[in-house]
Amino acid sequence: MSSKQDYYEILGISKNATAAEIKKAYRKLAIKYHPDKNPDNAEAEAKFKQAAEAYEILSNPEKKAKYDQFGHAAFDGSGGFGGSGMDMDDIFSQFGDIFGSAFGGGGGFGGFGGGQQRRRAKGGNLRIRVKLNLKDVAKGVEKKVKVSRKKQASDTTYTTCTNCNGTGQVTKITNTILGRMQTATACGVCGGSGQQIENRGKGTDAHGLKMEEETVSIKIPAGVEDGMQMKVPGKGNEAPAGVAGDLIVLIEVEENPNLQRDGENLHYDLYISFADAALGGSKEIETVEGKVRIKIEPGVQSGKILRLRGKGLPKLNGYNSGDLLVHINVWTPKTLSKEQKNFFEKMKDDANFIPDPQKSDKSFFEKVKDMFS
């Protein structure tokens, strides 16, 4: 269990807080610990980031539901599925509008290192798809992929932007009926980076960047699902004299012809003959870890579900695994030889062949109910 402080405690709200109350609580803390009000204050910086992390989780209904169920374990070590690891650029790019006009419209911000600082330009994100099979999902996997991304050329040099003097923003003062209003916007010359190209490297674009192929290692945790996305920070396109964007990884889980996924549980359809159902025996089935043999009791009925505990898939960032549910289907032959027809004609009225369900033999609807309970 994570030792992190509870997100609700950080924002000072209850678990039943509405979306508006969550936003209001975060804004109050963000303004209180904002870097413009707390220069050279490491404690305020930590609380500012802590509040942003709490808001990032609780303001998202899906993430909030996971947090309410699993706590910090739902996100810790998830390689990008959580809300932690945010830097100042992430916070201001995602939540800057929440500050409103409290800090000059939220354009730039003073740093905790003291003095007025510019917001570093951030490169664009890249997106890729990574295909996994059920074994990858069960164990977790590290994938190495080749990514073409824009990078700063070593022979490109930059100088301070003369339009904004390196701040990355320009200030405009307007006279209104309410008085003088000051607004700050990104510098149109340097795009907010505070830097201009001094010498452009060979083979680079107008921003001094060149396309290069790089092998990126992606650690994917066990239990991921099809359609999930994870973030590899700093592996997107770089920005001129700024920070690199992120690599967004879309997870695609390939379908297995024999195993059907239902959350953490897996389902397997096992077809057996009349003889197998009557006499019993053993059958080989597939699991994510390989083939195993299971015992078939004599007299097994079609629709019987055998549960192999722990043979399903792990929960994302959890400690338990789901089950493998084996569905027994007694196969009825469509054609019979004369000898086989004579046998079943003789057996039609035999007491052993007349259906006689017991109370312990659950109906189809009871089995479905049990399966989803």
- Altogether, the residues listed in the chain come to a count of 373
To 10 degrees, what angle do helices 61-70 and 42-58 make?
Answer: 100
Report helix, strand or coil for 251.
strand
Whether residue 100 is annotated as binding a ligand: the answer is no
Alpha-carbon span 331 to 151, nearest angstrom: 61
**Residue 243: both structure tokens together:** 């920070």
Alpha-carbon span 55 to 64, nearest angstrom: 10
CB atoms within 10 A of CB 306: 18
| Residue 123 and residue 203 in contact, taking contact as beta carbons nearer than 8 Å | no
Whether residue 187 is annotated as binding a ligand: the answer is yes
Whether residue 221 is annotated as binding a ligand: the answer is no
Burial of 84 (C-beta count, 10 Å sphere; 0-12/13-18/19+): middle
| Residue 282 and residue 298 in contact, taking contact as beta carbons nearer than 8 Å | no
Contact residues for 112 (Cβ-Cβ < 8 A; gap 6+): 35, 38, 39, 40, 41, 42, 44, 45
DSSP for residue 73:
G
Whether residue 27 is annotated as binding a ligand: the answer is no
Q: Summarize the annotated binding site for Zn(2+) as residue ranges.
A: 161, 164, 187, 190
Q: Summarize the annotated binding site as residue ranges.
A: 161, 164, 187, 190
